[in-house]
Amino acid sequence: MSLIVGIPQERLAGERRVAIEASVIQKLAKLGVQVAIEAGAGQAALIPDSTFTQAGANLVDSAAELYKQAKIIWTVQPPELADIQQLSAGSVLIGTLQPYKYPERVKALRDQGVTSFAMELVPRISRAQAMDVLSSQAAVAGYKAAIMGADLSVRFFPMLTTAAGTIRPAKVIVIGAGVAGLQAIATAKRLGAMVEGYDVRSATKEQVQSLGAKFIELGISAEGAGGYARELTAEEKQQQQAELAKHIATADVLITTAAVPGRPSPKIIPESTVEGMKPGAVIIDLAAEGGGNCSLSQPGQTVMHNDVLIHAPLNVPSQVPVHASEMYAKNLFNFLSPMLKEGQYQPDFNDEVIAGALLTHEGKIMPDAIRQLVEATA
Protein backbone atom coordinates (compact mmCIF):
# COMPACT_ATOMS: atom_id res chain seq x y z
CA MET A 1 0.00 0.00 0.00
CA SER A 2 1.33 3.43 -0.97
CA LEU A 3 2.42 5.93 1.64
CA ILE A 4 -0.03 8.87 1.65
CA VAL A 5 0.74 12.50 2.43
CA GLY A 6 -2.45 14.35 3.38
CA ILE A 7 -3.12 18.07 2.88
CA PRO A 8 -6.05 19.49 4.88
CA GLN A 9 -7.66 22.85 4.24
CA GLU A 10 -6.21 25.50 6.56
CA ARG A 11 -8.60 26.47 9.38
CA LEU A 12 -7.10 29.76 10.60
CA ALA A 13 -9.16 32.77 9.53
CA GLY A 14 -7.33 34.74 6.85
CA GLU A 15 -4.83 31.97 6.04
CA ARG A 16 -4.75 31.69 2.25
CA ARG A 17 -1.77 29.38 1.80
CA VAL A 18 -1.92 25.64 1.20
CA ALA A 19 0.84 23.18 2.08
CA ILE A 20 1.22 21.61 -1.39
CA GLU A 21 1.93 22.60 -4.97
CA ALA A 22 1.43 20.72 -8.24
CA SER A 23 5.13 20.11 -8.98
CA VAL A 24 5.64 18.75 -5.46
CA ILE A 25 2.78 16.27 -5.95
CA GLN A 26 4.64 14.99 -9.01
CA LYS A 27 7.96 14.82 -7.16
CA LEU A 28 6.38 12.79 -4.35
CA ALA A 29 4.82 10.44 -6.91
CA LYS A 30 8.29 9.71 -8.34
CA LEU A 31 9.31 8.62 -4.83
CA GLY A 32 6.31 6.29 -4.61
CA VAL A 33 4.22 8.58 -2.40
CA GLN A 34 0.56 9.42 -3.05
CA VAL A 35 -0.99 12.79 -2.12
CA ALA A 36 -4.53 13.15 -0.78
CA ILE A 37 -5.95 16.65 -0.47
CA GLU A 38 -9.10 17.94 1.19
CA ALA A 39 -11.52 19.41 -1.35
CA GLY A 40 -11.20 23.20 -1.46
CA ALA A 41 -7.77 23.29 0.23
CA GLY A 42 -6.42 25.66 -2.43
CA GLN A 43 -9.56 27.75 -2.77
CA ALA A 44 -8.34 30.69 -0.67
CA ALA A 45 -5.22 30.88 -2.86
CA LEU A 46 -7.45 30.71 -5.97
CA ILE A 47 -5.94 27.32 -6.85
CA PRO A 48 -8.74 25.00 -8.05
CA ASP A 49 -8.95 21.35 -7.00
CA SER A 50 -8.36 20.40 -10.65
CA THR A 51 -4.79 21.79 -10.48
CA PHE A 52 -3.97 19.23 -7.79
CA THR A 53 -5.88 16.29 -9.30
CA GLN A 54 -4.30 16.84 -12.71
CA ALA A 55 -0.90 16.61 -11.00
CA GLY A 56 -1.92 13.23 -9.55
CA ALA A 57 -3.49 13.99 -6.15
CA ASN A 58 -6.65 12.31 -4.88
CA LEU A 59 -9.46 14.54 -3.64
CA VAL A 60 -11.00 13.77 -0.22
CA ASP A 61 -14.32 15.23 0.95
CA SER A 62 -13.40 16.01 4.58
CA ALA A 63 -10.46 16.44 6.94
CA ALA A 64 -11.75 13.53 9.05
CA GLU A 65 -11.53 11.20 6.05
CA LEU A 66 -8.11 12.61 5.15
CA TYR A 67 -6.73 11.86 8.63
CA LYS A 68 -7.93 8.24 8.30
CA GLN A 69 -6.15 7.78 4.96
CA ALA A 70 -2.87 9.64 5.42
CA LYS A 71 0.17 8.51 7.40
CA ILE A 72 1.80 11.96 7.02
CA ILE A 73 0.00 15.31 7.30
CA TRP A 74 1.41 18.60 5.98
CA THR A 75 0.01 21.89 7.27
CA VAL A 76 0.88 25.58 7.09
CA GLN A 77 -0.62 26.61 10.45
CA PRO A 78 -0.68 24.35 13.53
CA PRO A 79 -3.81 22.18 13.55
CA GLU A 80 -6.52 23.09 16.03
CA LEU A 81 -7.15 20.83 19.03
CA ALA A 82 -10.22 19.27 17.39
CA ASP A 83 -8.09 18.24 14.39
CA ILE A 84 -5.24 16.91 16.54
CA GLN A 85 -7.69 14.66 18.37
CA GLN A 86 -8.58 13.04 15.03
CA LEU A 87 -4.97 12.13 14.22
CA SER A 88 -4.01 8.48 14.68
CA ALA A 89 -1.31 7.38 17.09
CA GLY A 90 1.88 6.95 15.07
CA SER A 91 0.83 9.41 12.37
CA VAL A 92 3.29 12.13 11.35
CA LEU A 93 2.59 15.87 11.31
CA ILE A 94 4.89 18.34 9.54
CA GLY A 95 4.30 22.10 9.58
CA THR A 96 4.99 25.38 11.35
CA LEU A 97 3.59 24.31 14.71
CA GLN A 98 4.42 27.42 16.81
CA PRO A 99 5.09 25.46 20.03
CA TYR A 100 5.86 28.52 22.16
CA LYS A 101 2.56 30.12 21.20
CA TYR A 102 0.42 26.96 21.49
CA PRO A 103 1.83 24.74 24.27
CA GLU A 104 -1.60 23.15 24.76
CA ARG A 105 -1.47 21.84 21.19
CA VAL A 106 2.00 20.40 21.79
CA LYS A 107 0.59 18.59 24.83
CA ALA A 108 -2.29 17.27 22.70
CA LEU A 109 0.13 15.99 20.03
CA ARG A 110 2.13 14.20 22.73
CA ASP A 111 -0.96 12.68 24.33
CA GLN A 112 -2.30 11.60 20.94
CA GLY A 113 0.93 9.73 20.17
CA VAL A 114 1.67 11.82 17.06
CA THR A 115 5.21 12.23 15.73
CA SER A 116 5.39 15.93 14.91
CA PHE A 117 8.05 18.07 13.27
CA ALA A 118 8.03 21.85 13.77
CA MET A 119 9.62 23.34 10.67
CA GLU A 120 10.65 26.50 12.52
CA LEU A 121 12.97 24.30 14.65
CA VAL A 122 14.98 23.07 11.64
CA PRO A 123 18.65 23.85 12.44
CA ARG A 124 20.15 26.79 10.55
CA ILE A 125 22.91 24.84 8.85
CA SER A 126 23.96 24.77 5.19
CA ARG A 127 22.47 21.34 4.52
CA ALA A 128 19.05 22.48 5.76
CA GLN A 129 18.80 25.75 3.79
CA ALA A 130 16.43 24.20 1.24
CA MET A 131 14.10 23.22 4.11
CA ASP A 132 14.07 26.63 5.82
CA VAL A 133 10.42 27.75 5.84
CA LEU A 134 11.22 30.77 8.01
CA SER A 135 13.55 32.13 5.33
CA SER A 136 11.27 31.36 2.39
CA GLN A 137 8.24 32.97 4.02
CA ALA A 138 10.31 35.91 5.31
CA ALA A 139 11.36 36.61 1.72
CA VAL A 140 7.68 36.86 0.76
CA ALA A 141 7.00 39.21 3.70
CA GLY A 142 9.97 41.45 2.89
CA TYR A 143 8.89 41.82 -0.72
CA LYS A 144 5.34 42.61 0.31
CA ALA A 145 6.48 45.13 2.95
CA ALA A 146 8.12 47.30 0.30
CA ILE A 147 4.99 47.10 -1.87
CA MET A 148 2.84 48.09 1.12
CA GLY A 149 5.15 51.01 1.84
CA ALA A 150 4.91 52.26 -1.74
CA ASP A 151 1.13 51.86 -1.69
CA LEU A 152 0.60 53.73 1.59
CA SER A 153 3.19 56.45 1.05
CA VAL A 154 2.08 59.96 0.06
CA ARG A 155 5.19 60.19 -2.13
CA PHE A 156 6.54 58.48 -5.24
CA PHE A 157 9.28 55.91 -4.64
CA PRO A 158 11.32 56.60 -7.83
CA MET A 159 12.78 59.83 -9.12
CA LEU A 160 10.50 61.08 -11.89
CA THR A 161 11.29 63.57 -14.63
CA THR A 162 8.03 65.18 -15.65
CA ALA A 163 6.77 68.22 -17.56
CA ALA A 164 6.35 69.81 -14.13
CA GLY A 165 9.98 69.21 -13.24
CA THR A 166 11.97 66.53 -11.45
CA ILE A 167 10.45 64.70 -8.47
CA ARG A 168 12.97 63.51 -5.88
CA PRO A 169 12.85 59.80 -4.91
CA ALA A 170 11.49 58.72 -1.54
CA LYS A 171 13.85 57.59 1.20
CA VAL A 172 13.17 54.11 2.63
CA ILE A 173 14.91 52.89 5.78
CA VAL A 174 14.82 49.17 6.62
CA ILE A 175 15.61 48.02 10.16
CA GLY A 176 16.83 44.43 10.34
CA ALA A 177 18.86 42.86 7.55
CA GLY A 178 17.72 39.27 7.80
CA VAL A 179 15.95 37.57 4.91
CA ALA A 180 12.85 39.79 5.18
CA GLY A 181 14.86 42.98 5.55
CA LEU A 182 17.15 42.22 2.63
CA GLN A 183 14.20 41.40 0.39
CA ALA A 184 12.50 44.65 1.46
CA ILE A 185 15.70 46.55 0.60
CA ALA A 186 16.00 44.84 -2.79
CA THR A 187 12.34 45.48 -3.66
CA ALA A 188 12.41 49.13 -2.55
CA LYS A 189 15.53 49.64 -4.69
CA ARG A 190 13.79 48.07 -7.69
CA LEU A 191 10.94 50.52 -7.14
CA GLY A 192 13.44 53.37 -7.39
CA ALA A 193 13.66 54.57 -3.79
CA MET A 194 16.80 55.73 -1.99
CA VAL A 195 17.34 52.95 0.55
CA GLU A 196 19.26 52.69 3.81
CA GLY A 197 19.52 49.58 5.97
CA TYR A 198 20.43 48.93 9.59
CA ASP A 199 21.12 45.82 11.64
CA VAL A 200 22.79 45.25 15.00
CA ARG A 201 24.83 42.48 13.34
CA SER A 202 27.76 44.24 11.71
CA ALA A 203 28.31 41.21 9.46
CA THR A 204 25.23 42.26 7.44
CA LYS A 205 26.85 45.49 6.22
CA GLU A 206 28.25 43.85 3.10
CA GLN A 207 24.88 42.25 2.24
CA VAL A 208 23.05 45.57 2.56
CA GLN A 209 25.61 47.36 0.41
CA SER A 210 25.57 44.60 -2.21
CA LEU A 211 21.91 45.48 -2.86
CA GLY A 212 22.82 49.10 -3.54
CA ALA A 213 21.66 50.44 -0.17
CA LYS A 214 23.58 52.53 2.35
CA PHE A 215 24.37 50.80 5.67
CA ILE A 216 23.62 52.82 8.81
CA GLU A 217 26.40 52.36 11.36
CA LEU A 218 25.66 53.07 15.03
CA GLY A 219 28.65 51.37 16.66
CA ILE A 220 26.54 48.66 18.33
CA SER A 221 27.12 44.98 17.47
CA ALA A 222 24.92 42.12 18.67
CA GLU A 223 25.82 38.95 16.80
CA GLY A 224 23.93 35.99 18.28
CA ALA A 225 23.66 32.23 17.81
CA GLY A 226 22.45 30.69 14.55
CA GLY A 227 22.74 33.90 12.55
CA TYR A 228 20.17 35.70 14.68
CA ALA A 229 20.74 38.84 16.74
CA ARG A 230 21.12 38.56 20.51
CA GLU A 231 18.99 40.72 22.77
CA LEU A 232 20.55 44.12 23.49
CA THR A 233 21.35 45.34 26.99
CA ALA A 234 19.29 48.25 28.39
CA GLU A 235 22.21 50.63 27.79
CA GLU A 236 22.66 49.40 24.20
CA LYS A 237 18.93 49.81 23.53
CA GLN A 238 19.01 53.41 24.75
CA GLN A 239 22.03 54.23 22.58
CA GLN A 240 20.48 52.48 19.59
CA GLN A 241 17.17 54.34 19.86
CA ALA A 242 18.82 57.75 20.23
CA GLU A 243 21.10 57.27 17.21
CA LEU A 244 18.48 55.61 15.03
CA ALA A 245 15.99 58.41 15.68
CA LYS A 246 18.26 60.89 13.85
CA HIS A 247 18.22 58.74 10.71
CA ILE A 248 14.53 57.78 10.94
CA ALA A 249 13.55 61.45 11.06
CA THR A 250 14.59 61.69 7.39
CA ALA A 251 12.62 58.62 6.19
CA ASP A 252 9.51 58.68 4.04
CA VAL A 253 8.95 54.97 4.70
CA LEU A 254 10.34 52.95 7.60
CA ILE A 255 10.20 49.12 7.44
CA THR A 256 11.03 47.23 10.64
CA THR A 257 11.78 43.49 10.63
CA ALA A 258 13.74 42.91 13.88
CA ALA A 259 12.89 39.66 15.67
CA VAL A 260 14.48 37.45 18.34
CA PRO A 261 13.47 33.75 18.14
CA GLY A 262 11.03 32.65 20.85
CA ARG A 263 10.76 36.14 22.36
CA PRO A 264 8.57 39.22 21.88
CA SER A 265 9.75 41.57 19.13
CA PRO A 266 12.21 44.17 20.48
CA LYS A 267 10.74 47.67 20.88
CA ILE A 268 13.22 49.79 18.94
CA ILE A 269 10.91 52.58 17.72
CA PRO A 270 9.53 54.50 20.73
CA GLU A 271 6.78 57.11 20.55
CA SER A 272 9.38 59.90 20.66
CA THR A 273 11.00 58.60 17.47
CA VAL A 274 7.64 58.47 15.68
CA GLU A 275 6.94 62.04 16.74
CA GLY A 276 10.24 63.08 15.18
CA MET A 277 9.24 61.69 11.76
CA LYS A 278 8.01 63.90 8.93
CA PRO A 279 4.25 64.31 8.32
CA GLY A 280 3.01 61.68 5.87
CA ALA A 281 5.75 59.19 6.75
CA VAL A 282 4.79 55.50 6.86
CA ILE A 283 5.92 52.72 9.20
CA ILE A 284 5.51 49.11 8.06
CA ASP A 285 6.01 46.96 11.17
CA LEU A 286 6.73 43.45 9.93
CA ALA A 287 7.43 42.30 13.49
CA ALA A 288 3.76 42.67 14.47
CA GLU A 289 3.39 38.89 15.02
CA GLY A 290 5.64 39.30 18.09
CA GLY A 291 4.00 42.53 19.25
CA GLY A 292 5.82 44.88 16.88
CA ASN A 293 9.07 46.87 16.82
CA CYS A 294 7.21 50.16 17.24
CA SER A 295 5.72 50.90 20.65
CA LEU A 296 2.64 52.39 18.95
CA SER A 297 1.97 49.42 16.65
CA GLN A 298 -1.35 47.64 17.07
CA PRO A 299 -0.92 44.17 15.51
CA GLY A 300 -3.32 43.63 12.64
CA GLN A 301 -4.31 47.30 12.48
CA THR A 302 -3.34 50.57 10.79
CA VAL A 303 -3.20 53.62 13.05
CA MET A 304 -2.21 57.27 12.65
CA HIS A 305 -0.07 59.09 15.20
CA ASN A 306 1.10 62.66 14.77
CA ASP A 307 0.48 62.43 10.99
CA VAL A 308 2.59 59.23 10.75
CA LEU A 309 0.80 56.12 9.47
CA ILE A 310 1.72 52.91 11.34
CA HIS A 311 0.76 49.68 9.55
CA ALA A 312 1.25 46.44 11.52
CA PRO A 313 0.09 43.56 9.28
CA LEU A 314 -0.21 39.93 10.41
CA ASN A 315 0.51 36.79 8.38
CA VAL A 316 1.98 38.78 5.49
CA PRO A 317 3.11 35.73 3.42
CA SER A 318 -0.55 34.73 3.14
CA GLN A 319 -1.11 37.86 1.04
CA VAL A 320 0.96 36.28 -1.75
CA PRO A 321 -0.55 32.80 -1.44
CA VAL A 322 0.40 31.18 -4.73
CA HIS A 323 4.16 31.73 -4.56
CA ALA A 324 4.27 31.50 -0.76
CA SER A 325 2.56 28.09 -0.98
CA GLU A 326 4.92 26.95 -3.72
CA MET A 327 8.01 27.86 -1.69
CA TYR A 328 6.58 26.34 1.50
CA ALA A 329 5.64 23.06 -0.19
CA LYS A 330 9.13 22.75 -1.69
CA ASN A 331 10.64 23.31 1.78
CA LEU A 332 8.49 20.48 3.18
CA PHE A 333 9.39 18.18 0.31
CA ASN A 334 13.10 18.83 0.87
CA PHE A 335 12.61 18.00 4.57
CA LEU A 336 10.58 14.82 4.04
CA SER A 337 12.36 13.31 1.03
CA PRO A 338 15.52 12.18 2.93
CA MET A 339 13.20 10.16 5.23
CA LEU A 340 11.70 8.23 2.33
CA LYS A 341 13.22 4.89 1.32
CA GLU A 342 11.58 3.00 -1.54
CA GLY A 343 8.30 4.79 -0.98
CA GLN A 344 8.25 4.13 2.77
CA TYR A 345 8.69 6.48 5.72
CA GLN A 346 12.01 5.52 7.37
CA PRO A 347 13.44 8.50 9.31
CA ASP A 348 16.87 8.51 10.91
CA PHE A 349 16.18 10.18 14.24
CA ASN A 350 19.92 10.54 14.83
CA ASP A 351 20.17 12.90 11.85
CA GLU A 352 20.90 16.46 13.04
CA VAL A 353 18.15 18.07 10.96
CA ILE A 354 15.46 15.49 11.75
CA ALA A 355 16.32 15.46 15.45
CA GLY A 356 16.43 19.26 15.58
CA ALA A 357 12.91 19.64 14.16
CA LEU A 358 11.38 16.76 16.13
CA LEU A 359 8.73 18.16 18.49
CA THR A 360 6.83 15.11 19.76
CA HIS A 361 7.56 11.40 19.37
CA GLU A 362 6.37 8.22 21.08
CA GLY A 363 4.43 10.13 23.72
CA LYS A 364 7.27 12.53 24.55
CA ILE A 365 8.00 16.22 23.94
CA MET A 366 11.55 16.26 22.64
CA PRO A 367 12.99 19.82 23.07
CA ASP A 368 13.73 20.47 26.76
CA ALA A 369 12.63 24.13 26.69
CA ILE A 370 9.27 23.31 25.13
CA ARG A 371 8.68 20.35 27.46
CA GLN A 372 9.30 22.63 30.45
CA LEU A 373 6.92 25.24 29.00
CA VAL A 374 4.16 22.65 28.52
CA GLU A 375 4.65 21.30 32.05
CA ALA A 376 4.54 24.82 33.49
CA THR A 377 1.25 25.61 31.72
CA ALA A 378 -0.40 22.25 32.40
> Please, what is the Cα angle at 222 between 221 and 223, to 5 degrees?
110
Tell which residue, 126, 84, 45, has the closest CA to residue 327.
Answer: 45
Name the DSSP class of 294: B
E-strand stretches of the chain: 3-7, 33-38, 58-60, 72-74, 92-95, 115-118, 160-162, 165-167, 171-175, 194-198, 214-215, 253-256, 282-285, 302-305, 308-311, 340-341, 344-345, 358-361, 364-365
Please choose, from the candidates 251, 140, 245, 248, the residue with its C-alpha nearest in 3D space to the C-alpha of residue 186.
Answer: 140
Query: Which of 87, 94, 29 lies closest to 58, judged by CA?
Result: 29
**Residues catalogued as catalytic:** 124, 129, 132, 135, 228
The terminus-to-terminus CA distance of the chain in angstroms comes to 39
**308-311 and 33-38 strand pairing:** unpaired
Could you tell me the sign of the dihedral formed by the alpha carbons of 363, 369, 375, 377, in that order? negative
Cα distances (angstroms) measured from residue 286 to each of 109, 207, 253 = 30, 20, 13
**C-alpha to C-alpha distance for 73 and 116, rounded to whole angstroms:** 9
| DSSP string computed for 23-81 | HHHHHHHHTTEEEEEETTTTGGGT--HHHHHHTTPEEES-HHHHHHH-SEEE-SSPPPH
The answer to whether 176 and 199 are in contact (CB under 8 A) is: yes
C-alpha–C-alpha distance, residues 257 and 312, integer Å = 11
- Taken in order 109, 111, 114, 115, the sign of the CA dihedral is positive
Three-class SS state of 181: helix
